[in-house]
């Protein structure tokens, strides 16, 4: 064990996340997990994003763990992005996606320069698949590059199988109606999946102005040494092996990575610094009975029209149950319209001590792990889905876009720990006004009642949620599947360096 510890201290893992909250948060968790093994980790990001994660990194460093946060410029001025657009959640329009990726690509030069000028030399790179240029840096340094994939193996297998089906039978795809359900073939036994075309991830939607970036991503993927997945073997069962066989690359499931945040402050500040409002929320939760509160949050990228958010608020109020509602504040016209409704309807006064609104960032992990929370109304992003699972509470599913409809099927049909709110089509970035209202207040009320009221199905759902939470915690403990997989990843890096003549001294 002592030899392994000395070996780890000679390693230097470099992490480069995509600049989006849902991608950055698990990357920072992975960095902490590696530093807890004695491995020096360096995370590269931009000034605005560094300000969000700085306190967590500083606290980790103060514990004597080897972790560094390096800021590099984000050239929004050069590519024509508005000032401050350093994160996907701050982009006002999908028309700016190309400029965002151009600015992201310009980070290569300062990252590479910093690595050359500052020791120790890197042992490997872990980067988001979208940050394709890290493949070039890995090649120049002669080190392995691993892709961090922010999705589950279940969703990756489903997407791969749909892609293969549509490629083999393009006429079928063309004739398929937007909301016509079809069976996804090749899924593990007992994990059948039905989708419609409108619910497929954005990779199935043509984006001509991003085709060159997509091609670079695909080319860089081929040279990767494998994938790192924020999940655990006991959850993914055959999906990991199916996806490994499909892509011909090794997969390491090392999650759930949020479980590395063991103390209250780490959970409160995870992803951003907690506000005074959030601290009041903790006191509010302390006064509630166990498993009585509905927590509603549709993710950092939620851009639903005000009329749809109003229906959500009305449904939560009608449930007559305590609730926390996270409302995103962007300072745009939609935010102003929602705030006007809240004020004119005296919503917060009407709900009194039963409802609590958080405007902006919410420390989701800290809230979900509180004993008073009994259900999670979620957009089914993979980070949120995992956080719900490790908290052992059932979910109300409201997918928006990307692979979230696949995650919904996993939660509701495969794992049997959720209830659908009833969304049938995706609300893609830029199409929010066109789509309008998809869910009425009565459907929110129905889903809340189904999850919170109990009954035989409700009891079964809660028992399963608790079982998955226990399995998740066991996976990251010493000797657990994810703990072993992380050890195996570290040993893979050591072997890869040795093959390149970079022997490690034990």
pLDDT per residue over 351-382, tens digit each? 988 999 998 888 899 999 999 999 999 999 99
pLDDT at residue number 459: 94
One domain, residues 179 and 161 = yes
d(CA 357, CA 359): 6
Q: What is residue 470's predicted lDDT score, i.e. its pLDDT?
A: 98
Distance of CA 433 to the CA centre of its chain: 25
Q: Flag whether 170 is in a domain.
A: yes
**75 contacts 106 by C-beta, under 8 angstroms:** yes
Q: Over 90: is that where the pLDDT of 213 sits?
A: yes
Looking at the fold, whether 403 and 453 belong to one and the same domain comes out as: yes
Radius of gyration of the chain (CA): 22
300 and 447 assigned to the same domain? yes
Q: Are residues 335 and 238 in the same domain?
A: no
Confidence of residue 460 (pLDDT cuts 50, 70, 90): very high
Q: In this predicted structure, what is the pLDDT of residue 34?
A: 97
500 or 350, which is more confident: 350
Q: Which residue has the higher pLDDT, 111 or 3?
A: 111
3-state secondary structure at position 195: strand
Mean pLDDT of the chain: 91
> Domain holding 396: CATH number?
3.40.50.2000
| Statement to judge: residues 458 and 482 lie in one domain | no
Determine, yes or no, domain membership for 206.
no
Q: Note the pLDDT tens digit of each residue in 8-22.
A: 788 999 999 999 989
Q: Residue 169: inside a domain, yes or no?
A: yes
Which pLDDT does position 209 carry in this prediction?
Answer: 83
pLDDT at residue 269, rounded to an integer: 66
| 142 and 27 housed in the same domain | yes
Does one domain contain both 142 and 161? no
Domain range spanning residue 83? 2-154+211-259+477-499
How far apart are alpha carbons 389 and 287 in whole angstroms?
Answer: 24
Whether 506 is in a domain gets the answer no
295-307 pLDDT tens trace: 999 998 888 999 9
In a domain? residue 335: yes
Q: In angstroms, rounded to a whole number, what is the distance separating the alpha carbons of residues 115 and 345?
A: 55
Q: 127 and 102: one domain? A: yes
Q: Give mean pLDDT, residues 230-248.
A: 93
Strand, coil or helix: what is 227?
Answer: strand
- pLDDT-based confidence at 1, cuts 50/70/90? very low
pLDDT surpasses 70 at 82: yes
Determine, yes or no, domain membership for 270. no
Query: Number of folded domains in the chain?
Result: 3
In a domain, 220, yes or no: yes
b/e for 249-288, b at 16 or more Cβ within 10 A? bebbbbbbbbbbbeeeebbbbbbbbbbeebeebeebbeeb
pLDDT in tens, 272-288: 666 667 778 889 999 99
- The mean per-residue pLDDT over the stretch 38-65 comes to 90
Q: Are residues 320 and 447 in the same domain?
A: yes
| pLDDT tens for each residue of 427-449 | 988 888 889 999 999 999 999 99
pLDDT per residue as tens digits for the range 121-146: 999 999 999 999 999 999 999 999 99
pLDDT of residue 273: 63
Q: Residue 171 contacts by C-beta under 8 Å, 6 or more apart in sequence?
A: none
pTM for this prediction = 0.93
The reply to whether 160 falls in a domain is: yes
Verify that 292 and 219 share a domain, yes or no. no
Per-residue pLDDT, 2: 45
- Shared domain check, 391 and 246: no
Task: Tell me the pLDDT tens digit for each residue of 461-473.
Answer: 999 999 999 999 9
Contact 153, 243 (CB under 8 A): yes
Higher-confidence position of 501 and 248 = 248
Whether residue 505 has pLDDT greater than 60: no
Do residue 378 and residue 253 come from a single domain?
no
Region 252-273: what's the mean pLDDT? 81
């Amino acid at each position: 064990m002592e030899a392994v510890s000395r070996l780890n201290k000679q390693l230097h893992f470099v992490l480069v996340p995509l600049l989006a909250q849902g991608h950055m948060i698990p990357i920072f968790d992975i960095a902490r997990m590696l530093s807890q093994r004695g491995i020096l980790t360096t995370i590269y990001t931009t000034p605005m994003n560094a300000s969000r994660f700085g306190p967590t990194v500083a606290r980790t460093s103060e514990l004597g763990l080897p972790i560094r946060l390096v800021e590099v410029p984000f050239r929004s001025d050069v590519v024509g992005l508005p000032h401050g657009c350093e994160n996907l959640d701050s982009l006002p329009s999908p028309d700016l996606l190309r400029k965002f990726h151009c600015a992201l690509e310009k980070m290569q030069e300062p990252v590479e320069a910093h690595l050359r000028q500052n020791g120790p030399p890197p042992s490997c790179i872990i980067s988001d698949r979208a940050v394709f240029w890290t493949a070039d840096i890995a090649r120049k340094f002669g080190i392995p590059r691993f892709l961090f994939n922010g999705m589950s193996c279940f969703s990756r297998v489903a997407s791969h199988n749909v892609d293969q089906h549509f490629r083999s039978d393009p006429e079928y795809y063309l004739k398929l109606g937007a909301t016509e359900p079809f069976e996804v073939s090749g899924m593990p036994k007992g994990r059948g999946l039905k989708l419609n075309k409108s619910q497929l991830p954005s990779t199935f939607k043509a984006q001509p102005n991003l085709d060159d970036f997509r091609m670079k991503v695909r080319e860089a993927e081929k040279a990767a040494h494998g994938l790192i997945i924020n999940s655990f073997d006991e959850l993914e069962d055959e999906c990991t092996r199916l996806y490994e066989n499909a892509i011909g690359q090794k997969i390491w499931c090392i999650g759930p990575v949020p479980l590395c945040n063991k103390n209250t402050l780490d959970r409160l500040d995870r992803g951003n610094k907690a506000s005074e409002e959030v601290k009041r929320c903790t006191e509010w939760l302390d006064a509630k009975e166990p498993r009585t509160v509905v927590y509603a949050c549709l993710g950092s990228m939620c851009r639903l029209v005000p009329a749809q958010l109003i229906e959500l608020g009305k449904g939560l109020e009608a449930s007559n149950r305590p609730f926390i509602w996270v409302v995103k504040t962007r300072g745009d016209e939609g935010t102003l319209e929602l705030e006007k409704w809240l004020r004119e309807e005296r919503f917060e006064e009407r709900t009194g001590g039963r409802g609590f609104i958080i405007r902006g960032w919410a420390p989701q992990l800290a809230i979900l792990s509180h004993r008073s929370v009994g259900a999670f109304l979620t957009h089914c992003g993979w980070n949120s889905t995992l956080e719900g699972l490790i908290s052992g509470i059932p979910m109300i599913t409201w997918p928006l876009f990307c692979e979230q409809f696949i995650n919904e099927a996993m939660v509701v049909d495969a794992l049997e720990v959720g209830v659908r709110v009833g969304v049938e089509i995706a609300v893609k970035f830029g199409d929010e006004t066109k789509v309008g209202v998809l869910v009425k207040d009565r459907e929110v009320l129905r889903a809340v009642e189904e999850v919170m009221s109990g009954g035989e199905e409700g009891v079964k759902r809660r028992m399963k949620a608790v079982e998955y939470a226990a399995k998740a915690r066991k996976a990251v403990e010493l000797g657990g599947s994810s703990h072993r997989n992380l050890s195996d990843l570290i040993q893979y890096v050591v072997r890869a360096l040795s093959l390149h003549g970079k022997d490690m001294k034990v």
